[in-house]
Amino acid sequence: MASRDDSGNRCDYRRRSRYYRDGFLKMRFVDFYFDFSSTNSYFAAFLLPEICARNDARVNWMPAHFAALFRGTSFDVMAMTPRKARYLWRDHARYAERTGLPFRKPSRFPIKTSSALRAVLAAGRTSAPADNHDLRENAQRAISQAFMRAYWERDEDISDRGVLASIASSAGFDGATLMDIADAKPARDELAALTETAVVRGVFGAPTFFVGDEMFWGKDRLDFVEQWLKRPE
């Protein structure tokens, strides 16, 4: 396993885009629906950018409020037997060992994530014009990975607005301003719209990925995502 820098990417990761909007390389995206309370989204948030970098693709960071998505269904994230829960946490630990990503079971689980999800959208709004996909992707990746690390590696309370502001500041943002934007109506409306779009597209769990119209669910389907990206147009 190659070493990783503080952002969680491989040290040789190329931050500059290889795509040209009107040039000779066609831009491809993977839509990544995630929530910070999803263990498997944590792993995918670091592995998916590596897959996209290898395959001339980019990530569309699509935060979705899965607690809201699950309302009206019979799904309960905590509805499992103690034996199954023990197995799942052990399996996550094995996956962390395999990937080299730090991981610890948080003391608050599940956790309220709406503020953190809106902050991802705020980061995209404040960091780049709407048509600058490179800067928008980099900003949303940076804040998403920072929140993921805070919760799944350091057991920080990402439901707390002050904690989020501090994490954002450490990641290079103006944390107080970012959270003000995240609390405002445009970010709230955007998160609700993204969540509703996820429902319409058939999303039922996190993480979910789309390559075009092809949907893949779960971090254990990232190999299928990469295989799909290698298919000819």
Task: Annotate 74-115 with three-state secondary structure.
Answer: CCCCCCCCHHHHHHHHHHHHHHHHHHCCCCCCCCCCCCCCHH
Q: What is the pLDDT of residues 220-231, one digit of tens each?
A: 999 999 999 999
pTM for this predicted structure:
0.85
Can you read off the two tokens belonging to residue 67? 């607690």
Please report the pLDDT score of residue 141 as a whole number.
97
3-state secondary structure 123-177: HHHHHCCCCCHHHHHHHHHHHHHHHHHHHHCCCCCCCCHHHHHHHHHHCCCCHHH
Reported residue count of the chain is 233
pLDDT-derived band of residue 25, with 50, 70 and 90 as boundaries? low
Can you read off the two tokens belonging to residue 31? 């839509």
Torsion of CA 70, 123, 53, 105, to 10 degrees: -50
Closest by CA position to 60, among listed 204, 233, 231, 197: 197
Please report the pLDDT score of residue 131 as a whole number.
64
pLDDT-derived band of residue 233, with 50, 70 and 90 as boundaries? confident
Torsion of CA 21, 173, 184, 146, to 10 degrees: 90
Q: Which residue type is seen at 94?
A: R
**What residues have CB less than 8 Å from 9, skipping those under 6 apart?**
46, 49, 50
Q: What is the pLDDT of residues 122-132, one digit of tens each?
A: 999 887 666 67
Strands 208-211 and 214-217: antiparallel
pLDDT, averaged across the chain: 87
**What residues have CB less than 8 Å from 113, skipping those under 6 apart?**
35, 36, 37, 65, 67, 158, 159
